[in-house]
Chains A and B, each alone.
Chain A
Amino acid sequence: MRVLVIEDDRETAQFLQRSLRESGHNADVAGDGETGLAMARDGGYEVLIVDRMLPQRDGLSIVQTLRGEGTRTPVLILSALGEVDDRVKGLRAGGDDYLTKPYQYTELLARIEALARRPAPEQQETRYVVGDLVLDRLSHKVMRGGEPIVLQPREFRLLEYLMKHAGQVVTRTMLLENVWDYHFDPQTNVIDVHISRLRSKIDKSFAKPLLHTVRGAGYMIRDGSD
């Protein structure tokens, strides 16, 4: 995956570049807003990581300009500003996701991978299948190995999100944001408990587990044979 990092702090940019390479991605770095915009225009990137405050041209303006020109490359906005309103502004400007500094690299990686593989709205599937687990988004039914599984509404949405990103790491924060629509950090790790409940329903009586914990990062649903 080709990633463009627009970030003026050299050390942060180099850290991201090196880490992304280690994760098997190809990352370029732009140190200011104008260079970043020019490089993003030339295209070929699957994801843009844009710092919000940049010299010459700020991050929001880059995103707005690109969107105005019809570029639909997914954008992750990085910012030290983490207020509710700041996030709303970032997303309104055309950003696809918003991450507040300081962040964990695993969180950033999980998010850009989710962004890069996000299907366009018109080609979203109505059924998700992972191994012998099937989730039907229209009838709200879940089956595993032909057996129906009864889920609470929130458990259904949790599973739906995990299956939509099957094979990708999904962090706790991503789940909290996308399944519960909360952008704060609950002091207790409530997500883990929800996951273990869900796991007991979809994995417990089956030989092969599908819902995996990724240490230090989050969760992933995948068919082991993939």
Chain B
Amino acid sequence: MTALTRLLLSTPFRLALIYMGAFILAAGLTVGFIAWRANELLTTSVVETLRAEVVGLREQYQIGGPARLSAIIAERAADPGSSLYLLVDSAGQRAAGNLRQVPLELRDGNQRGVFTYMPQSGPAQGRPRVAVGVLFDLPGSLTLVVGRDIEDLRRFAWTMGRLGLWSVVILSALGIGGGLLISRSVLRRIETVNETTRTIMAGDLSGRIPLNGSGDELDRLAESLNAMLARIEELMGALREVSDNIAHDLKTPLNRLRNRAEAALRSSEGAGIYRDGLVKTIEEADELIKTFNSLLLIARLEGGAVAESMERLNPAFIIADVAELYEPVADEAGLSLSVSAEPGLTLTANRELVSQAVANLVDNAIKYSPDGARTGGNGANPVAPISIVLKRVADDIEIAVGDRGPGVAPEDRQRALQRFVRLEKSRSRPGSGLGLSLVAAVARLHGGSIRLEDNAPGLRAVLQLPAAGPNHAVPVFAGQLREH
């Protein structure tokens, strides 16, 4: 498709054409109507004037008879101008006037109207002209015709008509030209959008539509599209990160599992070893499945799914339930678990996910509490407490889980929230390294955040959630990204 056909087929151009057509039609109708009415008014008013003149002439005739009338008409007919007169006697001969004969158009019954005549003198002699006239019968079989030349008026009207036609032609040309110009500028802007789309389809998700800063509807559309692209890029990034992580971090345990199975198979010691190997293999597979599930859950949360299942709840119940779930575990590890909750708070959130996040934090706190305390505190070692504190900070709910463990160095805190990151000190402890990143994903889904602080000594993880829920953070198209 050439640039020109594209231009001619463009919506703005077609709109311009339609608009122009409608405008010309309306203008033509209006002008035509006015012209028709004007012409009619003109003719009527001329006829009225002529009637008045005829009345005057008849009075003269009654006073002075045919001779006086002839004299007056001869006098008036001699004046240069547009007035036409003719007085015909009973024999049908012209008695006076500047018309040669009774116009054909006025002869039979139709005693007033438009007619053509041949001027007897003057510059226009010999060429037919248009006039309006009335025919009158006077006593004594005289016939009087009084008329006005309207040729000049007609000419003027004709000129106006031609002018009108020309203006239509000029208007059309201007309209088409303007339409083309507008279409071209709109097309050019749309073409930039198209180009961006093509680069994105070619695989470069970082492309954005340039804005011209005018803030008009195309600019606003571009802004929305850009926001959508940014969100898609973010989601794709999250997805890619997940697959990278799966590739890197699940391969190791998968390999371990495979080696174990292979070693069992190679062994010649028989059923007992096989059985052992299989039990271990299943255990490894279960761990892998858990890791995989956590990864999927994190990816889903970052994709913004589950957002529809938010409810209003009292966060104090959430932490009380989680504390109750973990209290025996903490107790067994020789750790006391204290809960302090500000009363009367409400939170719009997904109960299950927030519970899971808090459970992960408490689980970590128990896991990383010092071994000395785990043995139960023998007097020299005070029992390390795990604290869960719920309070309101401005418009947010904060759930802080603190321990007396080794803590995390300030420079490592950000890294500790990433997937699979297990700080060296904790490598020996069980876990997939996904606990905190799941908490972070839950926080983000709710429009909140997670931060690690110094508990002096120990670590305090603070989960911050907006009390009103993630009203602005819910992505518009989350639904479409979910499978099934």
B328:A194 contact, CB within 8 angstroms: yes
In the complex, chain B residues whose CB is within 8 Å of the CB of A197: 328
Q: How far is the CA of A194 from the CA of B356 in the complex (A)?
A: 18
Binary per-residue interface labels of chain B (288-316) against chain A in the complex, 1 for a CB within 8 Å, 0 otherwise: 01100100110010000110110000000
Q: A84-B352, A85-B308, A184-B352 are in contact. Are A190 and B286 (CB under 8 A)?
A: no
Q: A190-B325, A193-B329 are in contact. Are A184 and B306 (CB under 8 A)?
A: no
- Partner of B431 from A187, A194, A196 at Cβ < 8 Å: A187
Q: Which residues of B contact A84 (CB under 8 A)?
A: 306, 309, 350, 352-353
Give CA–CA (A88, B351) in the complex, Å: 14
Interface residues of B in 338-361 (CB under 8 A from A): 350, 352-353, 355-356, 359-360
In Å, the complex CA distance between A184 and B358 comes to 12
Instruction: With CB as the reference atom, state the residue of chain B lying closest to A185.
Output: B290
Closest to B288 in A: A102
B431: chain A residues at CB < 8 Å are 187
Cross-chain contact A188 with B328 (CB below 8 angstroms): no
Question: Does A104 make an interface contact (CB < 8 A)?
Answer: yes
Contacts of B360 in A (CB 8 A): 187
Q: Which among A88, A100, A186 is the interface contact of B363 at CB below 8 angstroms?
A: A186
Interface: A154 (CB within 8 A)? yes
Please state if B367 and A184 are interface contacts (CB–CB under 8 Å). Answer: no
| Chain A residues near B262 (CB-CB < 8 A) | none
- Does B152 have its Cβ within 8 Å of any Cβ on chain A? no
Q: A81-B484, A84-B350, A154-B324 are in contact. Are A184 and B309 (CB under 8 A)?
A: no
- In the complex, which residues of chain B have a beta carbon less than 8 angstroms from the beta carbon of A83? 297, 300, 305-306
Bound together, the chains give a CA A187 to CA B309 distance in angstroms of: 24
Q: Cα distance A182–B322 when bound, in Å?
A: 10
The CA-CA distance from A81 to B306 in the complex, in Å, is 12
Q: Are B293 and A82 in contact (CB under 8 A)?
A: yes
Closest to A184 in B: B356
Q: Please indicate the chain A residues that have their CB under 8 angstroms from the CB of B363 in the complex.
A: 186-188
Shortest beta-carbon distance from B159 to chain A in Å: 79
Shortest CB distance A62–B (Å): 16
Bound: A146/B306 CA distance, A: 49
Query: In the bound complex, how far is the Cα of B483 from the Cα of A180, in angstroms?
Result: 29
Q: Which residue of B lies closest to A101 (CB)?
A: B289
Per CB-CB distance, the 10 closest pairs between chain A and chain B, nearest first, are: A193-B328, A184-B356, A187-B363, A193-B329, A84-B352, A190-B329, A102-B289, A197-B328, A186-B359, A190-B325
Q: A83-B300, A182-B356, A188-B367 are in contact. List 18 more A-B contacts (CB 8 A).
A: A81-B484, A82-B296, A84-B306, A84-B309, A84-B350, A84-B352, A102-B289, A104-B286, A180-B321, A184-B352, A185-B290, A186-B326, A190-B325, A190-B328, A190-B329, A193-B329, A196-B328, A197-B328
- A-B contacts, 10 of them at CB < 8 A, read A81-B483, A154-B324, A182-B359, A184-B352, A186-B326, A187-B430, A190-B326, A194-B328, A196-B328, A197-B328
